[in-house]
Amino acid sequence: MRVALLLLALMSVTDAREQQPKCPAQTSLFGAALQSLESAWLRSAENTRCWSFAVKDTDGEETVNMNAVRLNSGHMLPSVGLGVYKSASGGECYQAVLSALKLGYRHIDTAQIYGNEADVGRAVADSGLPRDQVFITTKMWTSNWGFDKAAAGIRQSLAELGTPYVDLFLLHAPGDPATRADTWRALEEAVREGLIRSIGVSNFGVPHLLKLAETASVKPAVNQIELHPWQQRPDVVAHCRAEGIVLEAYSPLAKAQKLGDPVVRQVAERLGVTPAQVLLRWSLQKGFVPLPKSNSPDRQRSNLDVFRFELGAEDMATLDGLESGLVTGWDPIANNPV
């Protein structure tokens, strides 16, 4: 374990210009023995699809340690993203994204229905960061379903975002079963055209995923669903893990409804962190990719500062015990037809 920790400490990406985070070549400092250990670690990282890398804020003053997971498409997904749901189009969303990128976020999650794709694109462009250093996700709204409408919707999102490609494009919900397969086919075609790098779904339950698999040529890389200690979706989580589909957690803070929970507060106080950090750390240790939303630079910074501590097994079990089936917003998993 000590050797593994030493290796992890030594391995970081120092060239921020690389397209995807990866482990740099090992120097000859420790010779053949250490190279052998490194090879074993790389095999382990590949199996778990979990990697560590480092980014600097846009002033180059502070390094933020970040993890990433490898999607089944081969691309790397930074393991904490900024959600912009209900970030008002115009100044609010633009400033939130610009602030997050300055602080070290490299993963922004938007959607057609949010009405702020243009603000996200403008902030990414104005950040000064190369496009390939920022992972952008957007989602296809159900009004754009059907092959032709979806193909046009993809191009409209690219125009709004001001980018030649999107890193991840999701179906926002299971939607209409009659047009779901053709809509997915439009995403697959856009991948072949180089307009999208990875495709996935959001708010899909196990029956929806099984139905999609009957016609899909490309397996979803991601399923983005509401996940937090009060809504754990064990059936969906187990299925996605078995199929190699990464789970993204939206509303990982339960829309701030549970930040005052005494169990969470007790863990936070003992560890010297915030309740929000406890919930985000729980999500990470579950293997999820949380997407906290905040327009405040201070809270954005705090939400990103979740790689310096861990929750013990007892704390994780205690938080697991909070399951109550809480849904803080909509529930297409339960309400959309298969």
Q: Active-site residue numbers?
A: 114
CA nearest to 215, candidates 243, 171, 181: 181
Q: Are 175 and 140 in contact (CB under 8 A)?
A: no
DSSP 140: E
Q: At what angle do helices 275-285 and 262-271 cross, to 10 degrees?
A: 90
DSSP 228: B
Alpha-carbon gap, residue 43 to 89, rounded angstroms = 43
Q: Are 225 and 233 in contact (CB under 8 A)?
A: yes
Q: Where are the alpha helices (DSSP H) in the chain?
A: 2-10, 31-48, 91-103, 117-126, 147-161, 177-192, 206-213, 234-243, 262-271, 275-285, 297-304, 313-320, 332-335
Q: Are 338 and 209 in contact (CB under 8 A)?
A: no
